[in-house]
């Protein structure tokens, strides 16, 4: 007689849901990291360009170059704002995926706990059956010995 958990299929489904939530969470982390890295690179690029422009101003620049540099910085700032929005959205999505993963883990642990309790009950019933069988065997042996005498 082997142990059969009555909710084994549900536990299997919950485990698949948890695995999928983990995959989604890892993908969300990767997207967030990529967006954050892109933002960091743009901010660094802006900082280096502004430093380069300050040094060029000391040496002297033509007004058209100054205007061109200002346009470049404005476009860079617009791109940075856009990437900041992407980073915020990616962070929110990552947090949402993390919450879903936590929920799936909790659900799966509930079913695992139920399985463990069910298994303990199964083991207890096996012990009780074995004890009853041992008592019956002992009784039979006692009666056989009583008949022999």
Q: How much is the pLDDT for 149?
A: 67
In tens, the pLDDT along 95-143 reads: 999 999 999 999 999 999 999 999 999 999 999 999 999 999 999 888 8
C-alpha to C-alpha distance for 97 and 27, rounded to whole angstroms: 9
Each residue's pLDDT tens digit, 31-85: 999 999 999 999 999 999 998 888 887 777 778 888 888 899 999 999 999 999 9
Main-chain dihedrals φ then ψ at residue 72, nearest 5 degrees: -60, -45
Q: What is the DSSP letter of 6?
A: T
The domain locations on the chain are 8-109
Q: Indicate the DSSP class of residue 3.
A: -
- C-alpha to C-alpha distance for 141 and 149, rounded to whole angstroms: 13
Question: What pLDDT, on a 0 to 100 scale, did the predictor assign at position 45?
Answer: 95
**Full-model pTM:** 0.75
Using an 8 Å Cβ cutoff, are 25 and 77 in contact? no
């Amino acid at each position: 007689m082997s142990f059969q958990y009555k909710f084994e299929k549900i536990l299997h489904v919950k485990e698949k849901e948890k695995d999928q939530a983990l995959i989604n969470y890892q993908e969300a982390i990767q997207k967030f990291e990529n967006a954050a890295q892109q933002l960091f690179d743009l901010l660094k690029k802006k900082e280096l360009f502004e430093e380069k422009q300050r040094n060029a101003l000391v040496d002297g620049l033509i007004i058209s170059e100054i205007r061109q540099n200002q346009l470049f910085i404005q476009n860079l700032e617009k791109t940075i704002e856009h990437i900041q929005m992407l980073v915020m959205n990616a962070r929110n999505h990552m947090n949402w995926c993390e919450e879903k993963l936590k929920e799936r883990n909790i659900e799966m642990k509930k079913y695992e706990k139920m399985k463990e309790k069910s298994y303990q009950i199964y083991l207890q019933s096996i012990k009780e059956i074995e004890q009853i069988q041992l008592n019956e065997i002992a009784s039979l042996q006692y009666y056989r010995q009583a008949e022999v005498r």
